[in-house]
């Protein structure tokens, strides 16, 4: 998927008790047969095909007063209530083509007023304190990813919402649609607070949600008792204690029988000249082998994945860059990815991003992904960990070529 810019605004308004506030109710079908292709986040030439559930309104069905030429306005104003934190595409169909951005409502389950700059549909943003902030734009109870396509909004015929790979037939309610040149502000319109003392989204219910401090302490205690050293045969540096290579006193890489390995030191850690390993972020369900082979040929160096992850929209947060259906499927996705990587001789490792879930109300650019090894209550899901543990028990055998990587892939919805 692709990004968008900044200048005018689209607004979703939630009006409490306004006359004529007819509600448009949408159910995103998890069995939708329509499929669309989307570019991956870090390798735009690679495409994924997903089921898409879309609902389209003619402008007159949302508000008879909506004009087709939106170019003189700064905001589209609507009130929205999503049943889930799963993102959806907000699309404008115009005489010149489609315009789109990704819409992420914090948590779900409450009415919000949302103000979206219309400029985000027209051209790619050039503003932001880092690369992610160029694409991600916060608006209080929701955030947007500027994905395009971009272009003029002088001949808008219809507005649509489309969800990619819906999990569990989520719903969306929309009301009070209008255009405006003034920013009415974006806010939660239902009863506050919506975040509890543990950082969890109050309206969302999901397995393992913490309801009391006593429950949380009990969960922490159970986890502490379950931790056992030595289960994976690691040495003090995290290497495999049963293997042996020449000790040089620093971390290094070595190719042994055609496979690259990351070798631990005995004591002193030194830095190599130039670079010893090429690192690249690969947000995929697994790295595409042909593309990896080209990367290895170009660099001539062993490869390290800088970032990868999988998330689910079931904890009141967005599903991260690579969505799967549940915590169990996160574990399956982790195991499949890591074992496939381990089976490629050019790789020396992969780095999960990140250790902790983002806040349910988002970071500086609004992003609120559920990609953590642990959640906001400092706990890891047992179902997720089953896949992680299974993978790490097999990594040495898989990278050595003694065992084949698993073939089971995760379900995305």
Average pLDDT of span 24-40: 93
In a domain, 409, yes or no: no
Residue 237 and residue 336 in one domain:
yes
H/E stretch holding 350: strand 347-352
In a domain, 411, yes or no: no
- pLDDT at position 258 over 60: yes
- pLDDT score for 8: 32
- pLDDT score for 42: 63
Q: Using alpha carbons, list the distances in angstroms from residue 316 to 13, 132, 185.
A: 21, 21, 22
In a domain, 163, yes or no: yes
Taking the C-alpha atoms of residue 121 and residue 103, their distance in angstroms, rounded to an integer, is 12
Q: Which single residue is written with the structure tokens 């090894």? A: 373
Contact 164, 38 (CB under 8 A): yes
In a domain, 61, yes or no: yes
Average pLDDT of span 171-180: 97
In a domain, 381, yes or no: yes
Contact 115, 136 (CB under 8 A): no
In a domain, 1, yes or no: no
Residue 253 and residue 376 in one domain:
yes
- pLDDT score for 12: 32
- pLDDT score for 234: 83
In a domain, 138, yes or no: yes
Among the candidates 172, 188, 204, a domain finishes at: 188
H/E stretch holding 173: strand 171-180
Residue 155 and residue 272 in one domain:
no
Per-residue pLDDT of 267-326, as tens digits, reads: 332 334 577 899 999 999 999 999 999 999 999 999 999 999 999 998 899 999 999 999
Q: What percent of the chain has pLDDT over 70?
A: 92
Confidence category of residue 158, pLDDT binned at 50, 70, 90: very high
- pLDDT score for 43: 67
Residue 45 and residue 161 in one domain:
yes
Residue 20 and residue 130 in one domain:
yes
In a domain, 86, yes or no: yes
Instruction: Give the chain's mean pLDDT.
Output: 90
Number of separate domains in the chain: 2
- pLDDT score for 235: 83
Per-residue pLDDT of 322-379, as tens digits, reads: 999 999 999 999 999 999 999 999 999 999 999 999 999 999 999 999 999 999 999 9
- pLDDT score for 10: 33
Taking the C-alpha atoms of residue 6 and residue 365, their distance in angstroms, rounded to an integer, is 13
- pLDDT score for 265: 82
Domain with residue 65: its CATH number is 2.60.120
Residue 174 and residue 219 in one domain:
no
Residue 217 and residue 153 in one domain:
no
Residue 166 and residue 246 in one domain:
no
Residues in the chain: 413
- pLDDT score for 19: 28
Strand partners, 82: 172
Residue 134 and residue 100 in one domain:
yes
Residue 243 and residue 130 in one domain:
no
Q: Structural domain of residue 380, as residue ranges?
A: 213-400
Residue 243 and residue 178 in one domain:
no
């Amino acid at each position: 998927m692709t990004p968008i810019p900044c200048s005018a605004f689209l607004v979703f308004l939630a009006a409490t008790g306004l006359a004529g506030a007819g509600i448009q109710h949408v159910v995103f079908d998890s069995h939708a047969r329509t499929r669309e292709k989307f570019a991956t986040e870090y390798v735009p030439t690679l495409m994924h095909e997903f089921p898409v559930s879309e609902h389209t309104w003619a402008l007159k069905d949302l508000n008879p007063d909506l004009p087709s030429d939106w170019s003189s306005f700064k905001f589209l104003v609507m009130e929205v209530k999503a049943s889930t934190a799963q993102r959806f595409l907000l699309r404008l169909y115009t005489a010149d083509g489609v315009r789109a951005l990704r819409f992420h409502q914090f948590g779900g389950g409450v009415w919000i007023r949302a103000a979206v700059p219309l400029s985000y549909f027209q051209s790619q943003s050039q503003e932001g304190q880092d690369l992610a902030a160029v694409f991600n734009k916060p608006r209080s109870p929701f955030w947007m990813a500027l994905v395009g396509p971009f272009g003029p909004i002088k001949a808008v015929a219809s507005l649509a919402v489309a969800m990619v790979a819906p999990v569990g037939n989520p719903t969306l309610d929309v009301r009070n649609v209008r255009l405006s040149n003034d920013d009415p502000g974006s806010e939660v319109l239902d009863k506050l607070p919506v975040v509890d003392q543990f950082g969890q989204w109050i309206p969302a219910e999901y397995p393992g949600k913490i309801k009391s401090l006593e429950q949380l302490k009990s969960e922490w205690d159970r986890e502490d008792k379950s931790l056992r050293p030595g289960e994976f045969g690691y040495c003090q540096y995290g290497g495999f204690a049963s293997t042996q290579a020449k000790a040089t006193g620093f971390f290094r890489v070595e190719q042994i029988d055609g496979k690259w390995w990351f070798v631990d030191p005995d004591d002193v850690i030194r830095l190599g000249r130039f670079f010893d390993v090429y690192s690249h972020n690969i947000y995929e369900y697994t790295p595409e082998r042909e593309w990896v082979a080209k990367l290895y040929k170009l660099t001539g160096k062993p490869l390290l994945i800088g970032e990868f992850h999988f998330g689910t929209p079931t904890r009141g947060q967005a599903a991260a860059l690579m969505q799967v259906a549940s915590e169990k499927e996160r574990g399956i996705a982790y195991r499949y990815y890591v074992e496939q990587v381990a089976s490629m001789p050019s790789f020396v490792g992969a780095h999960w991003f990140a250790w902790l879930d983002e806040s349910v109300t988002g970071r500086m650019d609004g992003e609120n992904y559920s990609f953590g090894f642990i959640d906001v209550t400092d706990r890891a899901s047992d179902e997720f960990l089953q896949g992680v543990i299974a993978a790490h028990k097999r990594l040495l055998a898989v990278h050595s070529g003694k065992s084949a990587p698993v073939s089971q892939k995760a379900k995305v919805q």
